[in-house]
Structure 1
């Protein structure tokens, strides 16, 4: 008769759990945030071209949204309200459910460096999409902070008189525009990297569409 030890040795290797990876509320808020961020970015580029922060740098009109300054402003403000309210729902549910801590924490420089090297050498596992690696954790935390900075710097520009403290925290109106532009550039870089990672691991897109 086989011993319990032998039975354990002959058992098949454990496989990742099946089931829901992203609950419905995560998927809905994720796609609404993505829509709002992209619309704000494209319309923001049109607004930027109307009064460039850096006079020698212009964004090709073909990749902007709005057609003209007034149209771009309408798209920008509409997407802003969607981003703010949907973002608040996303953060509130993440914190209330404990998902924020489970998914994004802890993260350390050593763990990020380890996973970054593993990713660059093709040794980073994506077997269980429920578990974020340290590079993902850092990227998502950075983009959440970046979106908050985008909203606050945008308020400092849009309502400069109504929010003098916020304007001064940004270093004045002109500096607030630079902060806003830098935060927008960081968001654009994140989207490029994020799409590249999705292309490398297509299952992550399916999980965000159907939840599993």
Structure 2
């Protein structure tokens, strides 16, 4: 009887299993699909880059590329491209429909970003509430959303340059679109490195993205 009463009390206080969910299933699925697509696109994209370098004298080590040859890399790249594109659409739509975009990532200000960045560098930034993002996290996630959008747009301008002249001109022409695409890819790679570092420092964030709680 006391056990049953305790369970009822926890439910009444809002600590039921559903209330404890931090990352809903659709967020976790979209996150891991996005991670898979991003890694595949980067590794295959580096092989494509080596076939026709944007920056002369700079190439990517073959050991960290995917595809084995240009044709194979293109097949991997296009397959991952569609996964990234539709998954990004799904993630953005769900964030808008559920209101998660505004509740999780806003409000946000330059002052808050600088303050939390300074606290993080000093090791004073608290991670007591995994359900809430600090200002640096908000900025980083919004940045990577924008970066992926630029990757998709510049990629289309390169892949279908004739069919999408407006996108090509928006990028400053075909050659500049390649530069934009490479730089956006480099920024995404940098984000992944920082993200993995933060996960290593706060490992429970990984468990949250796996279990949702």
What TM-score do you get using the length of structure 2 for normalisation? 0.91
Matched with 2:189 is 188
2:124 partner SS:
coil
Residue 31 of structure 1 corresponds to which residue in structure 2? 32
Matches within 5 A, 1:130-209: 130-209=131-210
After TM superposition, give the deviation of residue 187 of structure 1 in Å. Answer: 0.2
Give the Cα–Cα distance (whole angstroms) in 1 for the partners of residues 161 and 193 of structure 2. 31
Q: Could you list the structure 1 runs, at least 4 aligned residues long, displaced by more than 4 angstroms after superposition.
A: none
SS at 2:54's partner residue? coil
Q: Which segments of 5 or more consecutive residues in structure 2 lack a partner in the other structure?
A: 1-14
Q: Find the counterpart in structure 1 of residue 212 from structure 2.
A: 211
Counterpart position of 1:66: 67
Deviation string, structure 1 residues 77-135 (Cα, Å, up to 9, x no partner): 00000001111011000110000101111111100000000000010000111100000
Q: Deviations over 1:46-68 (max 9, x none)?
A: 00000000011000000011111
Q: State the partner residue of 2:41.
A: 40
Instruction: Give me the whole-angstrom Cα distance separating, in 2, the residues matched to 1:105 and 1:145.
Output: 15
Structure 2 CA distance, aligned partners of 1:53 and 1:27?
A: 35
Contiguous gaps of at least 5 residues in structure 1: 1-16
What is the number of equivalent residue pairs in this alignment? 196
What's the C-alpha RMSD, in Å, of the aligned pairs? Answer: 0.8
TM-score relative to the length of structure 1? 0.91
Separation (CA, whole Å) in 2 of partners of 1:93 and 1:168: 31
